[in-house]
Amino acid sequence: MTTARGGDRGVVERVAKLAREVFAARADGYDRRAAFPQEDFDDLFAAGVLGAAVPREYGGLGFGPHRRNTLPLWEITTSLATADLSLARCWEGHANCLTLIDALGTEEQKGRWFAGVVERGEKWAGWSGEPQASRHGEKRSFGTTLTPVDGGWTVRGSKAFATGATGAQWAVLLVDADGPGGARHAGGTGAGLMLLACDLSDPTVTVDGSWWDPIGMRATVSHVVRFDDTFVPREHLIGDPGSYFAGQWQTAFTPHYAASFLGAAEAVFTYAVAYLRHQHKSGDPYVQQRVGDMAVDLDTARLWLRHVAELWDSGERAGARIAGSRARHVIEHLTERTVRHCVRACGARSLMRPGPVERVLRDLTFYQRHDNDDHIVAMIGREVLGEQHDPSFHRP
């Protein structure tokens, strides 16, 4: 299957080689230590890829939906996920923030922050996570409040699921002037939602490492982060209040998650084929059937992503938004099936370390809860029926 175009192909292949030959071997260690994949990011910076979603005029590669050159970005993400799904999640967050700055930022902001990425290897993270319903037995609550002060705002409170908390230098904070909830968990219209660039070296920003102990995606270090009246200057406001919802920017990132799911499934598929050949089981008709199913499922997932990328690149944003959710939905199920086929064809020992399958199974189980698939398909149904629908967060 042909993929990225022209010179972009070389970059995508360089990353695929790094993922295969270097990053895959590190994934188990990051997972066991629940450690941010710092060395992988150092290598991406050294390879000139950290600014993949930075426009070319600012020294980057100009990839991504806003630049109408979407597929190379998503293919890089898929490659990273073949090695380590946590790495891909941290990468997505970084790239998505750069896309937002490109789309909504001022020239001064772009000049300053893109130079940090391209010249100094700075990494970004995007933090909304303020779930309002507490977990059963959980005493703490999450949420931030914003206070206007001279020259900017102060942020007070906490965010959970702060991917890259111990690795990023900057975070785009999605904070609602109308009260706690961020973008995803606020009840209102989102008109007061602001995107604030926060310098994470500020001593009022602290990471609470006691909360993050999940089944998978451990190396995303998606800790709780606390803001103790953190001052954010007015010049760090990206776009106007409300522009995240008005521009439906979350829809540009929904298929990006699916690009990661696909990479994890590709890793499992490659492993399964090698494992089954090694065990001389290629002649077993049930094995053949499962391998055939996996191969077609992965083709289907790739075709969906390419279709959505083409819609973004052709400027058909309304179609791209809905197609992105459809792709996210279908790819979740295709990748789940791939892992199930692998385990059933290969057996129990395929779920033992040091093979990657048990980690992928844990990671996908957790990561696919990032959005609620029931809500996604219901949103698609509402769109088909001509009902009001929310393509950003699929809220009923």
Ligand X SMILES: Cc1cc2nc3c(=O)[nH]c(=O)nc-3n(C[C@H](O)[C@H](O)[C@H](O)COP(=O)(O)OP(=O)(O)OC[C@H]3O[C@@H](n4cnc5c(N)ncnc54)[C@H](O)[C@@H]3O)c2cc1C
**Residues 6+ away with beta carbon under 8 Å from 367:** 85, 89, 216, 217, 257, 260, 261
Stretch of 122-130, 145-153, 199-207, 250-258 contacting ligand X, by CB under 6 A = 122-130
CB 258 within 8 A of CB 328: yes
Nearer to ligand X by Cβ, of 109 and 392: the residue is 392
* Among 55, 126, 181, 263, contact with ligand X (rule: CB under 6 A): 126
Nearer to ligand X by Cβ, of 161 and 249: the residue is 161
Does residue 127 belong to the site contacting ligand X (CB under 6 A)?
yes
What is the distance, to the nearest Å, from the Cα of residue 228 to the centroid of all Cα atoms in its chain? 27
> How many whole angstroms separate alpha carbon 390 and alpha carbon 396?
8
Stretch of 22-30, 128-136, 227-235, 266-274 contacting ligand X, by CB under 6 A = 128-136
Does residue 370 belong to the site contacting ligand X (CB under 6 A)?
yes
CA distances, 256 to each of 39, 41, 122, 259, 309 (Å): 23, 18, 21, 5, 10
Closest CA to 123 of 204, 227, 39, 64: 39
CB of residue 188 to ligand X, shortest distance in Å = 13
Does residue 131 belong to the site contacting ligand X (CB under 6 A)?
yes
Six token digits for residue 368: 């696919």
* Among 367, 376, 391, 392, contact with ligand X (rule: CB under 6 A): 367
CB of residue 165 to ligand X, shortest distance in Å = 9
* Among 81, 168, 217, 331, contact with ligand X (rule: CB under 6 A): 217
**Residues 6+ away with beta carbon under 8 Å from 100:** 126, 172, 195, 238, 239, 244, 249
Interaction with ligand X in 163-182: which residues (CB under 6 A)? Answer: 163
Nearer to ligand X by Cβ, of 93 and 263: the residue is 93
Stretch of 49-57, 126-134, 148-156, 242-250 contacting ligand X, by CB under 6 A = 126-134
CB of residue 33 to ligand X, shortest distance in Å = 17
3-state secondary structure of 233: strand
* Among 65, 93, 105, 255, contact with ligand X (rule: CB under 6 A): 93
3-state secondary structure of 334: helix
> How many whole angstroms separate alpha carbon 43 and alpha carbon 123?
13
Size of the site for ligand X (CB under 6 A): 21
CB of residue 134 to ligand X, shortest distance in Å = 9
CB 125 within 8 A of CB 164: yes
> How many whole angstroms separate alpha carbon 27 and alpha carbon 34?
10
* Among 77, 78, 79, 128, contact with ligand X (rule: CB under 6 A): 128
Does residue 260 belong to the site contacting ligand X (CB under 6 A)?
no
Where do contacts with ligand X occur on this chain (CB under 6 A)? 89, 93, 125-129, 131, 133, 161, 163, 184, 217, 220, 222, 366-367, 369-370, 372, 375
